[in-house]
Amino acid sequence: MFKCIQVGVGGFGKRWLEVLSKSKEAEYAAIVDINRENLQNAIETLKIDPSRAFNNHREAFRRVKADFAVIVVPPPFHKEIALEAYKHGLHVLTEKPMADTMGSAKEMVEGARHAGVKLMVSQNYRFRRWVRTTRSALQSGKLGRVSHLFVSFRLNPDWGPWRQRMEDPLLVEMSIHHFDMMRYILGKNPVEIYARSWNPPWSWFKGDSATAVSILMEEGIPILYEASAVAFGSHTGWNGHWRLECEKGSLHFEDERLYVRRHDRKRRRIIPFLDMPAENQEYSLLEFLASLKEGREPETSGEDNLHSLAMVFAAIDSKNRGIPQKIVEYL
């Protein structure tokens, strides 16, 4: 059994308590949170010995023997905790976004490489059946070459007070998922981004909560992405709505179903989803532990994730400067 120290057990950390407590390959060595109420709730949920609950990650890493750390705290603290974990030989599985700056993310990647440990970012949206099915449908070649892609996201979520105070809550907290899925589905990396964003007058966010982004991927594949975190009326769900236009037909993901519409046929057809042993964070954990057992890099390694994170910061710079941004400048 792999032994884990989870840093951050309140908020979204509760989701990871559920995931890890059900794992047949990992168990808790310790939990960490600066909030005593969060710690106490986690102690009661896990029925863990209070001596294994800490309010300081450095003390936990120093006193408790473990194999890996799971980081579920706000992004500005990811680098500090990850670098400390490396010092104690701990592999790291962190929530997205990997860090609050590209510089910090690169330090995390380089630190893991230097320490000889694994760093994985839990980009759980790409670990969903419809995403894997869409990529498989493209790779089959039956629809020919991809021409372009449209993605729409419209919701009005309650993301809590600290996200409401962020400068770019939509791009940082939500678009990172969509950007990473674009890369995975197409099997291509981004080349250039041109973005605009704004904050509708009814928004409850401090920072921009709506955006329109033009993305150029490798092999000249363009993407149009529009998103709003303060949308009323027509909603898309968390995944968004997707339309991939291809040489011989198109793929549509809407209302949690995947359709194919071939040019030589009048009716669209539902594509059944591929089977998977798990989805979301559960699959993130399976992939992470598999990478440790097999001595390989995880699918969403820190190094790979730099390409997804670069899309976020390039989009932010583009909307601030009013000009397109080359992704290579961020890597």
Model pLDDT for residues 100-111, shown as the tens digit of each residue: 999 999 999 999
At residue 189, does pLDDT exceed 80?
A: yes
Task: Compute how many other C-beta atoms are within 10 angstroms of the C-beta atom of residue 212.
Answer: 15
- Residue 39 binned pLDDT confidence (cut-offs 50, 70, 90): very high
Going from N- to C-terminal start, the domains of the chain cover 2-117, 126-277+310-330
Q: Which residues contact 196 (CB under 8 A, 6 or more apart)?
A: 211, 212, 213, 319
pLDDT at 158: 84
At residue 160, does pLDDT exceed 80?
A: no
Residue carrying structure tokens 């979301």: 280
Task: Compute how many other C-beta atoms are within 10 angstroms of the C-beta atom of residue 242.
Answer: 23
At residue 36, does pLDDT exceed 90?
A: yes
Question: How far apart (Å, rounded) are the C-alpha atoms in residues 169 and 211?
Answer: 11
Which residues are registered as beta bridge partners of 216? 192, 222
Which residues are registered as beta bridge partners of 3? 27
Q: Which residues contact 94 (CB under 8 A, 6 or more apart)?
A: 70, 71, 78, 82, 108, 119, 120, 121, 122
Average confidence (pLDDT) over 163-181: 93
pLDDT at 243: 98
Helix (H, G, I), strand (E, B) or coil at 109: helix
pLDDT at 52: 97
- Residue 282 binned pLDDT confidence (cut-offs 50, 70, 90): very high
Instruction: Decide the pairing of beta strands 190-198 and 210-217.
Output: antiparallel
Q: How many CA atoms lie within 13 A of 244 on its CB side?
A: 23
- Residue 233 binned pLDDT confidence (cut-offs 50, 70, 90): confident
Average pLDDT, the chain: 96
Q: Report H helices in the chain.
A: 13-21, 36-46, 57-63, 78-87, 102-115, 129-139, 161-164, 169, 176-186, 280-294, 302-321
Question: How far apart (Å, rounded) are the C-alpha atoms in residues 155 and 258?
Answer: 20
At residue 320, does pLDDT exceed 90?
A: yes
pLDDT tens-digit map of 46-82: 999 999 999 999 999 999 999 999 999 999 999 999 9
162: left (phi over 0), alpha (psi -120 to 50) or beta: alpha
pLDDT at 172: 95
Of the candidates 167, 160, 203, the one whose C-alpha atom is nearest the C-alpha of residue 312 is: 167
Contact indicator for 219, 232 with CB cutoff of 8 Å: no
Q: pLDDT above 70 covers what percent of the chain?
A: 100
2-117: in CATH 2.40.10.10? no
The pTM assigned to this predicted structure is 0.95
At residue 225, does pLDDT exceed 80?
A: yes
Task: Please name the fold of domain 126-277+310-330.
Answer: Dihydrodipicolinate Reductase; domain 2 (3.30.360)
Of the candidates 117, 79, 174, 97, the one whose C-alpha atom is nearest the C-alpha of residue 298 is: 117
- Residue 264 binned pLDDT confidence (cut-offs 50, 70, 90): confident
Of the candidates 68, 123, 135, 108, the one whose C-alpha atom is nearest the C-alpha of residue 299 is: 123
Q: How many CA atoms lie within 13 A of 112 on its CB side?
A: 27
- Residue 242 binned pLDDT confidence (cut-offs 50, 70, 90): very high
Q: Which residues of 263-278 are buried (b: 16+ CB within 10 A; e: fewer)?
A: eeeeeeeebebeeeee
Question: How far apart (Å, rounded) are the C-alpha atoms in residues 31 and 7?
Answer: 6
pLDDT at 266: 80
pLDDT at 188: 98
